[in-house]
Structure 1
Amino acid sequence: MSQINDKKIVLAVDEKPKLGQWVLLSIQHLFAMFGATVLVPALTGMNPAIALISSGIGTLAFILITKGKVPSYLGSSFAFINPIIAMKALEADPNSGMPVGSFLVGSFLVGVVYSLVALLIAKVGTNWLMKLLPPIVVGPVIMVIGLGLARTAVEMVTNNPTGEYDLTYVLIGLVTLTITIITAIFTRGFLSVVPVLIGIIGGYAFAAIMGVVDFTKVIEASWIQVPEFSIPFIHYEPSISWYVILLMLPVAIVPIAEHIGHQLVLSKVIEKDLIKDPGLHRSMLGDGVATMFASLIGGPPNTTYGENIGVLAITRAFSIYVFIGAACLAILFGFCGKIAALLGTIPSPVMGGVSILLFGIIASSGLRMLVENKVDFKIKRNLIISSVILIIGIGGAAIHIGDLFSLEGMALASIIGVVLNIVLPGKQLVDFEDMFKEE
């Protein structure tokens, strides 16, 4: 047992805290997820207020589905940033023929995939999933996500809205990055858990001093305001195409693997086997339902957040009521016009500054997965699988067959990685008969 787990439990999972303690702990979890949850819609051109609302409601649905036994917060998933950006760009191009709202249809289908995986886990256990998605596949795919977003982060820091190099933007980005790094390395306790939020606040203040921030919309906004939701059949006609399926669904490999990792870590932190009770199928279904709901109102796909698991490890306050409180606060923030307007004024170099670190951490976490699982690159099959995934994913390789079929980048790399792991000889070769045996 780790040193962290040797500390006394402050609040058990089913224990209700006192009101003052409840509010403070809930605010802490809200801050822990806030920076990353808001960053995803900011990068993809979605509404941050809707992302907050969908994360709050998604978290409440997750808690209900898992019978209140899994203290987790669900926020925006980084894995789908590139696919969403690509599809929104096509939607904006009148010559592409891509219907408006296609990226939301793709997000809904991702939630369906989570739910189907949950049903399969409930039926045959987890052995098949572990064999289909070993570290040698998932690690390089995670690296592709981070490295594939590198250009986006750098352009946000270096280019102004006209697309020209701007030294002021570079300074704002570097100041934001510096504050984030200093907070992460040199602070302790609560501050060390929210370096992204502190970096955004510090960078925002510096940007305001540099005259880049315009507060007009914040002043004009009302305190209570309903954001502009994107609801199917009301704001757009949902349409499914092969492009949407092939661009979004393969990426679901990453959050599924991430979800399993989070449940294993969380089990160690709270000293309960969550894989068995309430079961991985329930937590995976919770992810699926949250993602499907988010897509129905115009929010990004959701996933469990490691940042909030970190808060649990530090505070040892595992109460599910704390997460209910954080979810309710997120929903309230989403309906506050002043807050939504304030989020909209955050300059791109501020988000770019924290993105440099976050996207790098994503790539490094893929490398960490390979190291921690002791993947041996002296074995040719491992070297081949990782090399092919990295080059195809980062290089943006694509397969186009007219207007009917298109598979590219991260999605293509994910599928090829899974296929190579199945067909290449070696000790990690998948045995299909064994995969679907009852455990």
Structure 2
Amino acid sequence: MISIGVNEKPELKKWIPLSFQHVFAMFSSTVLVPILTGLPTSSALFTSGVGTLIYILITKGKVPAYLGSSFAFITPIIMISQSFGVAYALGGAFAVGIFYIIISQIIRFFGYKWIDRVLPPVVIGSVIMVIGLKLAPTAMDMAMTGGTEDYHLSYFLIAAVTLGIAIFATIFLKGFFTVVPVLIGIIGGYLFTLIMGLFFPSFHLIDFTAVGKTAWFGLPHFAIPKFGIIPIITFLIVSLATIAEHLGDTLVMSRVAGKDFYKDPGLHRTLAGDGAATAFASFFGGPPNTTYGENIGVMAITHVYSVWVIGGAAVVATCLSFIHKFGALIQTIPSPVMGGISMMLFGIIASAGIRTVVESGVDYSCKRNLTITSVILVLGIGGGLIQFPITSSLNFELGGVALATLVGIVLNLILPQNLNNKEEE
């Protein structure tokens, strides 16, 4: 099997297809976030590509990580956009990027062991479960009603076919196709809807009018983030979970590539790169970025760890963002298709949380761990909310994932570590 090291540059005839392989791996997840949150897909592609190049520059070309849209911020983006406006969500994203950079400098001078005390697996795993399960109603709404208020059987059938294709691709396909089941599911559901729409009016959900009116090429739109106390605090609290996710992804990359990225170029550089990319994204209407497990999976399968290959994928993604007809075509994907794929995708996010606590050996016969997880799940999924009056007309609200994360951190810090009493048999 071919094996290419981190700093090796493959010959061009191998370089191009290897880079496109990474584009396919990241594509569906990267564009799904803006589709769900209402942000421009072209902006997500542009900030993903350029953000990855920024990351490579800051890490001195030593870490083969691809950065794509972060799923952890879907709920905060939707919530803040609806309550304050998209500009304030972008302001929260910018604050996250700066926060990453600040934490990276703390890690530079004091190390990273303290993060394990603040964000142990029992907290992080539980928060990740909340992130996935909190989005479940959104997936079902798209699958059952197509984002409208009326149920349609045709919508459910489209969602079911999309989900079935994605599951089949996940379980039965081999090699490279195992890392792009989401993309395969979306394409399959799209074609099913297109074909059925030729025979049944209720399936006629794809309209190419906007594609025809959209210019072929265009420049990314510069955005001006706005800043508010509530959006910033909400995003920063959620970012505590994504910082822990960054630590995990960097560790996995180290194991896959056979290098210790925690030491060289250093965890402070990888986190600073992530932060700089996220701050950059906020000025072009893109969601916060994160290192992508999908691309780590591609590296593990292919044994190609080259930063040059990742950089090539970033250039391809950036070029695609300038083709506006391509972005308009993505916007024609019907809501039931996205609903079907989201049923699996959001479940995978929640399952990743379960995997975190299982692989970390969290003992749920210990009442301390059981209590922390229980409270996080109920507050996060149940829609827990606290309000503090700031002025007569403005309340500070903290709810959902942010509240669950904060309470989980507090419980972990105040409950005695030696509280190992087991549940009564």
1:114 to 2:100 alignment: yes
Question: What is the match of residue 242 of structure 1?
Answer: 229
Offset at 1:225? 2.1
Question: What is the match of residue 435 of structure 1?
Answer: none
Question: What is the match of residue 220 of structure 1?
Answer: 213
How far apart are the structure 2 equivalents of 1:162 and 1:393?
25
Give the unaligned 5+ runs of structure 1: 1-7, 91-97, 233-237, 430-439
Cα pair 1:242 1:406 within 8 Å, conserved = no
Cα pair 1:159 1:166 within 8 Å, conserved = yes
Q: 2:115 aligns with which of 125, 129, 135?
A: 129
1:193 to 2:193 alignment: no
Which string of whole-angstrom CA distances, capped at 9 and with x for unpartnered residues, describes residues 101-140 of structure 1? 1000000001111111101100100110122110011010
How far apart are the structure 2 equivalents of 1:322 and 1:427?
48
Aligned pairs (5 A) from 1:7-18: 10-18=3-11
Structure 1 residues 418 and 357, CA gap change in structure 2 (3 angstroms): same
Question: What is the match of residue 182 of structure 1?
Answer: 168
Q: 1:422 aligns with which of 405, 410, 413?
A: 413
Offset at 1:271? 0.5
Offset at 1:342? 0.5
Which string of whole-angstrom CA distances, capped at 9 and with x for unpartnered residues, describes residues 46-77 of structure 1? 10010000000000000001111100100000
Question: Percent of pairs identical after alignment?
Answer: 54
Question: What is the match of residue 76 of structure 1?
Answer: 69
How far apart are the structure 1 equivalents of 2:353 and 2:418?
21
Which string of whole-angstrom CA distances, capped at 9 and with x for unpartnered residues, describes residues 284-328 of structure 1? 001000000000111000000000000000000111111111001
How far apart are the structure 2 equivalents of 1:27 and 1:428?
51
Aligned pairs (5 A) from 1:390-409: 390-402=377-389, 403-409=394-400
How many pairs does the alignment contain?
409
How far apart are the structure 2 equivalents of 1:343 and 1:376?
44
How far apart are the structure 1 equivalents of 2:348 and 2:172?
18
How far apart are the structure 1 equivalents of 2:218 and 2:284?
16
Question: What is the match of residue 39 of structure 2?
Answer: 46
Structure 1 residues 161 and 264, CA gap change in structure 2 (3 angstroms): closer
Cα pair 2:205 2:334 within 8 Å, conserved = yes
1:344 maps to amino acid: Q
Q: 1:88 aligns with which of 81, 84, 91?
A: 81
SS in 2 for 1:297: coil
Offset at 1:230? 4.4
Question: What is the match of residue 284 of structure 2?
Answer: 297
Which string of whole-angstrom CA distances, capped at 9 and with x for unpartnered residues, describes residues 150-194 of structure 1? 000000011135421011111111111111010011011111111
Aligned pairs (5 A) from 1:28-427: 28-90=21-83, 98=84, 101-209=87-195, 210=197, 211-227=204-220, 229-232=221-224, 238-402=225-389, 403-427=394-418
Cα pair 1:246 1:406 within 8 Å, conserved = no
Offset at 1:360? 0.3
SS in 1 for 2:283: helix
Offset at 1:148? 0.2
How far apart are the structure 1 equivalents of 2:377 and 2:108?
33
SS in 2 for 1:374: coil
Offset at 1:428? 8.8
How far apart are the structure 1 equivalents of 2:179 and 2:216?
29
How far apart are the structure 2 equivalents of 1:348 and 1:370?
33
Offset at 1:245? 2.2
Cα pair 1:421 1:428 within 8 Å, conserved = no
How far apart are the structure 1 equivalents of 2:234 and 2:147?
28
Cα pair 1:242 1:404 within 8 Å, conserved = no
1:165 maps to amino acid: Y
Structure 1 residues 428 and 248, CA gap change in structure 2 (3 angstroms): farther
Structure 1 residues 100 and 305, CA gap change in structure 2 (3 angstroms): closer
Structure 1 residues 30 and 395, CA gap change in structure 2 (3 angstroms): same
RMSD: 1.4
How far apart are the structure 2 equivalents of 1:265 and 1:89?
36
Relative to the length of structure 2, the TM-score reads 0.94
1:231 maps to amino acid: A
SS in 1 for 2:398: strand
2:237 maps to amino acid: P
